[in-house]
Every structure is written in structure tokens, then in C-alpha cells.
Amino acid sequence: MGRGAAPTAAPSLGQVMRCSKCLLCLSALLTLLGLKVYIEWTESRVKAYPEPRGTLLDPTAASSEPTLPANLSARLGQTGLLPSAYWNQQQWRLGTLPSEDSTETGGCQAWGTAAAAEIPDFASYPEDLRHFLLSAACRSFPQWLPAGEDSQVASCSSADVPYLLLAVKSEPGRFAQRQAVRETWGSAAPGIRLLFLLGSPVGKEGPDLRALVTWESRRYGDLLLWDFFDVLYNQTLKDLLLLTWVGHHCPDVNFVLQVQDDAFVHIPALLGHLQSLPPTWARSLYLGEIFTQAKPLRKPGGPFYVPGSFFEGDYPAYASGGGYVIAGRLAPWLLQAAARVAPFPFDDVYTGLCFRALGLVPRGHSGFQTAWPTYRIMDACTLRGLLLVRPFSPQDTIRLWKQLRSPKLKCDPHW
């Protein structure tokens, strides 16, 4: 201390503590103000996209109108360093897939020929995956028809446009599953149309089912058959050919449910939900059990195996292929997107890619249960709050249907 300066007393312990408390209070106040601003900002974003029922995965991307930009790479997640995997490279440079009548060398087979030549370990891929890739860009197949016959499937009449088209994926030999659907949740009802989607009854392996399928088609008129092998990796063909059929024969349908033949659909509950949707939701609907963080499975020999040399990255948000609903008006849009999205072996993942290409996001609903555990018994009371459940045997489907229609059915109102 210099001479002549007034002596100053050292601060007491109480003063130091009071000062520290003030700083803590000020810090806490600033934190609360910041938190309040963040909450109000977040709420303003949520309020812009109300969600009466169901879940919208990405509110900021919500749109009722699809778009298809000239370059799809960024929209499909192709940002940053481009991976060397074949699908990623193809998608980055893809304009449109070659068509069946393309003048390019090899036509639609060219994509598969390039895959076999450019993927370094192509020979080690599972046989079914190799077959898929070799013809993956070939998507135009004629309907399978008995010799000399026209299609047994009628177009939707202008006077009786269905509100909901039930498009059930089946296989030629699954007669019991189809009959169970016809006799239960798929039975005739106002505003409902039922179709089954099948490949050729002349299987790659197994019995020749042409005679039985021909009889069934004539008897019910609800089989859409195409002339390709009905195997796991050809399920995407059913989606694309169905969309083509809808565009030509049923363009004004409101909604299309694409579902497996081992599902049980609670039609009244599903219709009630669809009819309650805001118009902007309904126009671009993609509704089901949504997977948002799925990744490729890399275990060779396991189900849904995807080699790293074919695809890198995460999957888009997509609805389980066990059953999902789309807006009927999106059929031509999805076909346009599919012409510009590189082929992928799994139908539900590919549908998710096409929706992402259009800038549309899926909506989740807890009423879609596409992997119901075998140890859990399903009864009519449990089903009340659900829209779609699978898998079921034909016997269980009929049992559940009878329970639902029984006048003796009584459920706990608190469920």
C-alpha cells in the first residue's frame, strides 16, 4: 500500500459469500431465460405442425406436395465424402434407370451387367442377391394369364371408386392365407376393394400351380399375377407393378393398404383413423410402423444381409413391409421417383427411399404391429386399439374374426 492512501479493510467472509451467491443467482437467471427462449422457439415449431394422432418424424420436412429435384443425392443423404459402395456410386451419378425398350446396349440388363463387373466381391454375394442385382432395373412385366384369356381383374368403375384398396402380397401356393383374408377382414364392404399380388404360378422350384391358380382367379377375380418368379427379392416388383396398375385402372382411389397375407387388419379402426386425418396429411400419406434408425445387417448368411461393397450408410425412415398405407394419388409420383432411385433388394427400404426422394416423410402409428410376439395371445379385446397385426395363421385369423363379430363379446372398458 502506498503512502498517503486510505487504509481499506479486507472483505469479510460474509461479504464474499454474499457476492458468490449473487453471481450464482445471476447465472441461474440467465440460464432460465435462455431455456425459456428455447422452449418457446421449440413450441412455435411444434404448433406449426399439429399431430392429432400418429407421429410425424421430421416436422421441418413436412409437406403435402411431393417434389423431385434434379439431383437426388443430397435428399437421399449423399452428403460429404462419397462412399465407394456400388449403390452409393450409382445413385450419385444416376439420371434415370434404363427402360425395357432402351436403345442403350443391354437395355434394362445393363445396370445388372455393370454391377457384376464393378462390384469387386460380387461372386461372394448370396445367389439370390446376385440374381436380383442382375435384373434389378427390369421392371416391366406382363400379367400372367392362362392361355387365351384376358385379365380376370376388373378396373375400378367411375361410379364405384374405392375409398381403400387392400393390396395383399401373397404367393401362388398360399391358398389358405388368401381364403382366410377373403372370409374375414378382406370380405366385401362399401368403399373397400380387395386384390392379391402374386408372381407366376410356374415357380422356380416346386409344383406347377397353374391349374389351381387359374381356377381361383376365375372364381374370385381378385388375383393380379405377373410373369416373374415369386421370390423374396422380387417383392419390389409387386409394389411397382401395383402402382402402375393403380395409375391405369384405379387412379382415383383415396388410399392403398399394402399388406402381407398373414396380417389381420382391423378395418373399422383403420377407416376411422383415415377419415379423421387432416386433408394435408391425407394427400401425402405414408403410414405404418416406422423404423427410423435401421442399419444394414452385415452378417453373411443372415436374413437381410447387405454387403458393405454394395451399400454404405443408414437406411431412410421407412414403414415396415408387413403393412402400410399410402395416398392413392402418389402412385405416379412414386413411379417417377423409382425411375431415379437405384435398385435396392428390400421392398420396404426401397419404398422409404422413394418417399424420401419425393421429400415426404412417413407417419408412425402405434396401432401397426407388424411383428406380434408369438408368446402373446391376441384376442378381440386386445385388437380394439390396433389397426393392423401380424403374423397370424389362417386359423388364428378366422378365430379372431369370429370373436370380433360375436354378440357375446365383452371387453373391460378400462382397457
Cell of 26: 445471476
Distance of alpha carbon 354 from its chain centroid, rounded? Answer: 10
Task: Find out whether 386 and 266 touch, Cβ atoms under 8 Å.
Answer: yes
Alpha-carbon separation of residue 35 from 29, 30, 64 (angstroms): 10, 9, 32
Cell of 13: 467472509
Asked, for residue 72, whether it belongs to a domain, the answer is no
ω before 391 within 30° of 0 (cis)?
Answer: yes
Question: Is the per-residue pLDDT at 101 higher than 60?
Answer: no
CATH of the domain at 242: 3.90.550.50
Those residues with Cβ within 8 angstroms of residue 253's Cβ, 6 or more apart along the chain or in another chain: 156, 161, 162, 163, 164, 165, 193, 246, 328
Higher pLDDT, 56 or 191: 191
234 and 118 in a single domain? The answer is no
pLDDT of residue 374: 84
Task: Find out whether 372 and 396 touch, Cβ atoms under 8 Å.
Answer: no
pLDDT of residue 412: 78
Q: pLDDT class for 2, splitting at 50, 70, 90?
A: very low
pTM: 0.83
210 vs 77: CA distance, rounded Å: 44
pLDDT, average across residues 294-321: 95
334 and 383 in a single domain? The answer is yes
pLDDT, average across residues 308-331: 97
Question: Is the per-residue pLDDT at 41 higher than 60?
Answer: no
Residue finishing a domain among 135, 153, 174: 135
224 and 322 in a single domain? The answer is yes
Asked, for residue 213, whether it belongs to a domain, the answer is yes
Task: Find out whether 281 and 360 touch, Cβ atoms under 8 Å.
Answer: no
Asked, for residue 152, whether it belongs to a domain, the answer is no
pLDDT of residue 302: 86
209 and 248 in a single domain? The answer is yes
Asked, for residue 71, whether it belongs to a domain, the answer is no
395 and 344 in a single domain? The answer is yes
Higher pLDDT, 328 or 14: 328
User: Which region holds residue 36: left if phi is over 0, alpha if psi is between -120 and 50, else beta?
Assistant: alpha
Question: Is the per-residue pLDDT at 56 higher than 60?
Answer: no
343 and 217 in a single domain? The answer is yes
Those residues with Cβ within 8 angstroms of residue 326's Cβ, 6 or more apart along the chain or in another chain: 255, 256, 258, 285, 286, 287, 334
Higher pLDDT, 411 or 8: 411
368 vs 210: CA distance, rounded Å: 34
Task: Find out whether 94 and 124 touch, Cβ atoms under 8 Å.
Answer: no
Asked, for residue 118, whether it belongs to a domain, the answer is yes
Task: Report the Cα–Cα distance between both ends of the chain, in Å, rounded.
Answer: 81
Q: pLDDT class for 43, splitting at 50, 70, 90?
A: very low
- The whole domain housing 391 covers 164-405
pLDDT, average across residues 379-396: 93
Q: What domain count does the chain have? A: 2
pLDDT, average across residues 322-351: 97
Distance of alpha carbon 353 from its chain centroid, rounded? Answer: 9
123 and 266 in a single domain? The answer is no
Asked, for residue 277, whether it belongs to a domain, the answer is yes
CB atoms within 10 A of CB 101: 8
